[in-house]
Structure 1
């Protein structure tokens, strides 16, 4: 069972970050990522203007490259080395943002939790909120002194295809899909070629925009309404899935924001499930 998250520090405001930006025990991460069709280069955008002192975490680059599945979790050793290089050490607090508001930052929030970081916060409103308030930006690559970081892998936060199939068959956990209703029901093609359309038998559909409002996580009442509309019991174990393991992390964050344990994330998500002929798919 995934551990509960410290709700009090789950989100921090732009004012809080501005007041604490110079703390040596805080490191800010730009975790921006975009779908390939968006035609945006998140690293180039970061270099052009980032929150002062922020480092860029490359979600596609710091990944398991032994598989053709997109941005799968790296090994603990690879993640540990990257955190040390970026200057993030044991006991520090990570503050994560993205350039959309709330889209890819939850992926790094989840990844940091997977590797045992206890203090992880999301910047409420992300970079758009920071910019809208006229707060300062820097350009270029900041120089960071390497720190000692120890990765501690938490298997309870990660599910593979076998675990998802077992959960669907036994009912031990609810599987919730963050993709759009059109993709979930097989009425729209998948953006990645070669994948079947549809969903896992018994999965529920909770499109990730249903838990977001104006680039921020909805208040608890809005989250509860979204869970209920999807037929989800948030007090029972949840495995979140999506297209490639990105927006599933938004649903995991939504569970945490409602005061519950974060959802376990199926890292391979539909990129794996929809591409494997041995796994069942329904379209309706």
Structure 2
């Protein structure tokens, strides 16, 4: 009897271990974790230069950290599907004005992901950017946001921290084979409106003081010292606080990585950003802002964090006011 009981316990232990192995540890995974669970997830590569998917990475010896010194990124994780970042945002006409880099419709986003080869699956999704800059990292957070908005459960999607560059620095292999064209059958689900801020919600939030507004652009753009070419006027939303791009991720060798919730709470305090109040993040085109939203929502754990996807490109081109140095 004891032998049968011991056998049953062992079997249950193996089953439990297998079940936990198939789940994501959180919104971020490490190269080590992904290497161990590569066959249990769908890897989605996101970048804006599709040519280097098939280029060999270049190394220059071993850095002081003991990791390979990566000189030039290249390749992709084997069996990944590739998404062109340039395609996941669209032009929209708002009040007769053409606004670039906006959220696609559910139908359009479904086609983009199916054209990239994404299938309906019980496997979790791990998004991999190149990870060589803040912009690259935020391509991953923008895709993460859109997948979440269009129905992917929070516990079924994660980002590889540090992206492909972290993977390469840790000595893991890549493929330089051309990714075979395939049509997927992924379908957008009901939109999660809790994480998206509309233009009207921004106006109400500013008027009533019901939201903390976080500006995720470089400091010079926040102050209005310089104006982004896509914005009609310089400066920021009245009352907004700055969470500048260089405080969102840190470079580890050639890879830019997110930090811990504890680190971010200390950083947010320095910028007078409260981690636990309703928050709307914005930038120029909601690329950098998606990184700020990811930090606030998925790492720090603020359940009332929204992304203003229209951001300053919509706000200023529709004639809404900003504060800061005049242009």
TM beyond 0.5 = yes
8 Å contact kept, 1:84–1:147: yes
Tell me whether 1:261 sits opposite 2:303 in the alignment.
Answer: yes
The Cα of 1:227 is off from its aligned counterpart by 1.4
Which residue of the partner structure matches residue 70 of structure 1?
100
Q: How does 1:73-222 map to 2 (within 5 A)?
A: 73-85=103-115, 86-101=117-132, 102-118=137-153, 119-139=156-176, 140-144=178-182, 146-192=184-230, 195-214=232-251, 215-222=256-263
CA distance in 1, matches of 2:87, 2:183: 21
In structure 2, do the counterparts of structure 1 residues 43 and 132 end up closer, same or farther at CA, with 3 Å as the change threshold? same
The Cα of 1:237 is off from its aligned counterpart by 0.7
In structure 2, do the counterparts of structure 1 residues 170 and 184 end up closer, same or farther at CA, with 3 Å as the change threshold? same
SS of 1:31 mapped into structure 2: strand
8 Å contact kept, 1:242–1:248: yes
Between 1:176-185 and 1:145-154, the stretch displaced more is 145-154
Which residue of the partner structure matches residue 321 of structure 2?
280
Highest RCO, 1 vs 2 (Cα 8 Å, sep ≥ 6): 1
Over aligned residues, Cα RMSD in angstroms? 2.1
8 Å contact kept, 1:168–1:203: no
In structure 2, do the counterparts of structure 1 residues 7 and 14 end up closer, same or farther at CA, with 3 Å as the change threshold? closer
Tell me whether 1:225 sits opposite 2:266 in the alignment.
Answer: yes
SS of 2:39 mapped into structure 1: coil
The Cα of 1:92 is off from its aligned counterpart by 3.2
**Greater than 4 Å deviation, 4+ residue runs:** none
Bigger helix share: 2
Bigger strand share: 2
- Residue correspondences, number: 267
8 Å contact kept, 2:234–2:324: yes
CA distance in 2, matches of 1:128, 1:181: 27
Give the unaligned 5+ runs of structure 2.
Answer: 1-22, 56-74
In structure 2, do the counterparts of structure 1 residues 237 and 141 end up closer, same or farther at CA, with 3 Å as the change threshold? same
SS of 2:99 mapped into structure 1: coil
* 1:194-231 CA-partner distances (Å, limit 9, x unpaired): 62111111111111321212211122222012211222
CA distance in 2, matches of 1:111, 1:203: 24
